[in-house]
Amino acid sequence: MRANWISGILLTTAIAATPALAQETADAVSPEAPTEGQVQGLTDQVIAALEAKANGVPVEAENWMVAAANPLAVEAGARVLRAGGSAADAMVAVQVVLGLVEPQSSGLGGGAFLVWYDAASETLTTLDGRETAPLEATPRLFQDENGEPLKFFDAVVGGLSVGTPGTPALLEEAHRRWGRSPWPSLFVDGIQLADEGFLVSPRLAGLVERDAERLSRFPATAAYFLPDGQPLAQGQRLTNPAYAETLRTLATEGSAGFYGGDIAAGIVNTVRTAPGNPGVLSVTDLALYQVIEREPVCAAYRAYEVCGMGPPSSGALTVGQILGMVQGYDLPAMGPDSPEAWRLIGDASRLAFADRGRYMADSDFVPMPTEGLVDPDYLAQRGSLLSEGGALVDIAPGNPEFDHASNWADDVSLELPSTSHISIVDAYGNVLSMTTTIENGFGSRLMTNGFLLNNELTDFSFRTHSDGVPIANRLEPGKRPRSSMSPTIVLQDGVPVLAIGSPGGSRIIGYVAKSIIAWADWGMNIQEAVMLPHLVNRFGTYDLELDTAAEGHSDALIAMGFEVNPRDLTSGLHAIEIGEVLKGAADHRREGIALGD
Ligand code: GLY
């Protein structure tokens, strides 16, 4: 039955996806209702989820909900929740399947950030499972012999960019704290799918085709993604026995079986012998890896507290800054069709990105004004810069209150869209929001033990200094690269009302902020908020989502002084609104669904 229904879903999306996949960033999928023939064999629940997404309405449920980027992964999570598992249990099952069916975006070879609302203690916690820089890495890892930064893909592809993976340890830590189901039971779906095979999705097939040259450089990667030299085809059944074996090891030995023994040796050997671009990851790095619990970062917005992952992520701080700066303006009255609303959001985002580039990095290594950056008085003062009409001419970082004296130079590091987001609410009232990544699509392109290795180290600044002033996000041994991932839980009066997050490189921040504004200020239900066309401004140019109503703002924004750039904007927002009922949303730009009961 599984093969039938997934085939139907994936072939449906293929029709819309194929032309767009020809371009670098053109991977959006239009919402399209399943037809008679395509829905044969689907469970009623999955049919309903697909129809809801196609019709732009949320999936409703009373007890639990899971939203993620691939129906097979969502089904795995739903099975766990249906059997009484917690959101943490379901997340493990979802991640394990995502690493198989959406391997280009996240997996065991990557890292993740998790935000958790614990219903029993009514507390919010965040877990940092970010990759770390190897101890042998030097600040000049991504510079040539003249001290000049390497070209981006010269740094990405191969061993140099691989940080110590954090995801396996994060899965285990989340289960240790909040799990209710037996750990081995969470691997059953992943092992079965890897052994028996799954049908390659149109998105995976299209991305393999686009990246074929890079994937072909490494024998293990080429053998998997380009069997007989040809890119995987959509609808093709694909098995991954090596991944099934890795999952069996994790299921029986826990993360110790990943961070030591044969799997660790395989990772290190793959990284250090990568042809042309060997890296420096060692068995010591793997043995030393730790998940870190951190204080959530929260920012006030209207009646809400918008909470998420603090440093080394810039996500919650930058989302919080954008919201804090527009708070003094009447966005609810302006509405989503108002160019003035987008002027405010766009320039608030530019100001926030200026602070992000100057101040945000791994605060275990560099002093950061974390509290100062989301201080309401500071944000009101920054927001007052928006009071004049027209795009801001000068954008500069502000001077948030600093608990240490510090002076940093600005960093612009390139983050391309990949990654995946999981939102889950369980029957016990726990809420999970987790964004998970191997960084670039297909990460470093190195594959071992059935999974891809990340290229997360390229989220560091390639330069260490600018005009002699150090850059906060420079690479240092043991440090975690700055991220934009923004797993978010929104609270009202201390109670969670929304879980949300997205992939999309540094545009994640804009996708999440926009969706929260649409939901909180413009009265949209969460599926409408997710589907609202994107307008994203990070560094000055206003990205307008191609072939959507966002392009209709083009003339007005140009008249205000913005440059505009119509382009595909492939978010992968997955969200759950928590009220009298649960309302789940899946981004029509990707292949995911929300399921609940
Ligand atoms: N590599 C994507 C991010 O961490 O933001």
Ligand 1 mutation target, pool 508, 509, 511, 571, most atoms within 8 A of CB:
508
Q: How far apart are CA 510 and CA 429, in angstroms?
A: 28
Ligand 1 surroundings by CB, under 6 angstroms: 415, 419, 437, 439, 459, 483-485, 505
Q: Are 345 and 332 in contact (CB under 8 A)?
A: no
Tell me if 41 is assigned to some domain.
no
Tell me if 392 is assigned to some domain.
yes
Q: Which residues contact 2 (CB under 8 A, 6 or more apart)?
A: 72, 75
Predicted pLDDT of residue 39: 36
Q: Is the pLDDT of residue 30 over 50?
A: no
Predicted pLDDT of residue 402: 80
Average confidence (pLDDT) over 477-495: 98
Average confidence (pLDDT) over 343-352: 98
Q: Is the pLDDT of residue 148 over 90?
A: yes
Predicted pLDDT of residue 414: 57
Q: 248-261 burial string, b = 16+ CB within 10 Å, else e?
A: bbbbeebbebbbee
Q: Where are the beta strands (DSSP E) in 482-568?
A: 488-492, 495-500, 535-537, 541-545, 563-567
- Which helix or strand (DSSP H or E) is residue 510 part of? helix 508-520
Q: Are 67 and 593 in contact (CB under 8 A)?
A: yes
* Whether residue 410 is found in the same domain as residue 423: no
The residue behind tokens 């949320």 is 58
Supply angle C-alpha 496, 500, 506, rounded to 5. 140
Reduced 3-state DSSP string for 16-70? HHCCHHHCCCCCCCCCCCCCCHHHCCCCHHHHHHHHHHHHCCCEEECCCEEEECC
Ligand 1 atom index nearest CA of 419: 2
Provide the 10 A C-beta neighbour count for residue 230: 12
Cα(505) to centroid of ligand 1, in Å?
5
Average confidence (pLDDT) over 264-280: 97
The catalytic position among 126, 132, 221, 419 is 419
Cα(111) to centroid of ligand 1, in Å?
9
| Axis crossing angle, helix 167-178 with helix 87-101, rounded to the nearest 10 | 160
DSSP secondary structure of 381-410: HHHGGG-SSS--S---------SS----B-
Q: Is the pLDDT of residue 159 over 80?
A: yes
Ligand 1 mutation target, pool 456, 460, 509, most atoms within 8 A of CB:
456
* Whether residue 438 is found in the same domain as residue 501: no
Q: Is 260 helix (H, G, I), strand (E, B) or coil?
A: coil
Tell me if 186 is assigned to some domain.
yes
Tell me if 29 is assigned to some domain.
no
Average confidence (pLDDT) over 515-533: 98
* Whether residue 441 is found in the same domain as residue 527: no
Average confidence (pLDDT) over 34-41: 35
Q: Which of 411, 434, 448, 436 is nearest to 575 (CA)?
A: 434
Predicted pLDDT of residue 433: 98
| Boundary (domain end) residue, out of 405, 435, 470 | 470
Average model confidence (pLDDT) across the chain: 91
pLDDT tens for each residue of 75-109: 999 999 999 999 999 999 999 999 999 999 999 99
* Whether residue 567 is found in the same domain as residue 456: no
- The amino acid at 562: F
Tokens for 178?
A: 């909040």
* Whether residue 499 is found in the same domain as residue 360: yes
Q: Is 160 helix (H, G, I), strand (E, B) or coil?
A: coil
Q: Which residues contact 321 (CB under 8 A, 6 or more apart)?
A: 299, 348, 351, 352, 355, 373, 374, 379, 382
Tell me if 325 is assigned to some domain.
yes
Residue of the CA atom closest to atom 3 of ligand 1: 483
Cα(497) to centroid of ligand 1, in Å?
25
Ligand 1 atom index nearest CA of 482: 4
Q: Is the pLDDT of residue 20 over 70?
A: no
Tell me if 49 is assigned to some domain.
no
| Boundary (domain end) residue, out of 470, 495, 511 | 470
Predicted pLDDT of residue 3: 36
pLDDT tens for each residue of 219-269: 999 999 999 999 999 999 999 999 999 999 999 999 999 999 999 999 999
Q: How far apart are CA 258 and CA 449, in angstroms?
A: 10
Cα(125) to centroid of ligand 1, in Å?
20
Residue that wins the pLDDT comparison between 540 and 581: 581
Q: Is the pLDDT of residue 5 over 50?
A: no
DSSP secondary structure of 317-384: HHHHHHHHHHTTS-HHHH-TT-HHHHHHHHHHHHHHHHHHHHH-S-TTTS---HHHHT-HHHHHHHHG
- The amino acid at 158: G
Q: Is the pLDDT of residue 373 over 80?
A: yes
Average confidence (pLDDT) over 373-394: 95
Count of structural domains, the chain: 2
Ligand 1 mutation target, pool 483, 538, 570, 571, most atoms within 8 A of CB:
483
Cα(444) to centroid of ligand 1, in Å?
14
Cα(318) to centroid of ligand 1, in Å?
14
Ligand 1 atom index nearest CA of 508: 5
Q: Is 352 exposed, middle or buried (0-12, 13-18, 19+ CB in 10 A)?
A: buried
CATH number of the domain encompassing residue 343: 3.60.20.40
Residue of the CA atom closest to atom 1 of ligand 1: 439
Cα(171) to centroid of ligand 1, in Å?
18
Tell me if 475 is assigned to some domain.
no
Tokens for 389?
A: 């009409």
Provide the 10 A C-beta neighbour count for residue 33: 12
* Whether residue 493 is found in the same domain as residue 551: yes
Q: Is the pLDDT of residue 15 over 50?
A: no
* Whether residue 492 is found in the same domain as residue 343: yes
Cα(10) to centroid of ligand 1, in Å?
27
Predicted pLDDT of residue 18: 24
Provide the 10 A C-beta neighbour count for residue 220: 16
Ligand 1 atom index nearest CA of 111: 4
Known active-site residue 419? yes
The confidence band for 467, taking pLDDT boundaries of 50, 70 and 90, is confident
* Whether residue 258 is found in the same domain as residue 139: yes
Tell me if 40 is assigned to some domain.
no
Q: How far apart are CA 221 and CA 438, in angstroms?
A: 15
Cα(483) to centroid of ligand 1, in Å?
4
Q: Which residues contact 123 (CB under 8 A, 6 or more apart)?
A: 117
* Whether residue 376 is found in the same domain as residue 435: no
Start-end of H helices in 138-294: 152-156, 167-178, 188-196, 202-210, 212-215, 219-225, 241-253, 256-259, 261-272, 283-288
* Whether residue 544 is found in the same domain as residue 534: yes
Predicted pLDDT of residue 403: 66
* Whether residue 451 is found in the same domain as residue 523: no
Q: Which of 539, 547, 541, 500 is nearest to 520 (CA)?
A: 500
Ligand 1 mutation target, pool 419, 509, 512, most atoms within 8 A of CB:
419
pLDDT tens for each residue of 287-320: 999 999 999 999 999 999 999 999 999 999 999 9
The residue behind tokens 């201080």 is 375
* Whether residue 380 is found in the same domain as residue 350: yes
Name the residue range of residue 354's domain: 293-415+484-596
| Boundary (domain end) residue, out of 429, 447, 470 | 470
The residue behind tokens 């940080």 is 163
Residue of the CA atom closest to atom 4 of ligand 1: 483
- Return the minimum-mean-pLDDT range out of 12-21, 85-94, 122-131, 313-322: 12-21
Average confidence (pLDDT) over 153-180: 98
Ligand 1 atom index nearest CA of 459: 1
Cα(162) to centroid of ligand 1, in Å?
13
Ligand 1 mutation target, pool 319, 484, 509, most atoms within 8 A of CB:
484
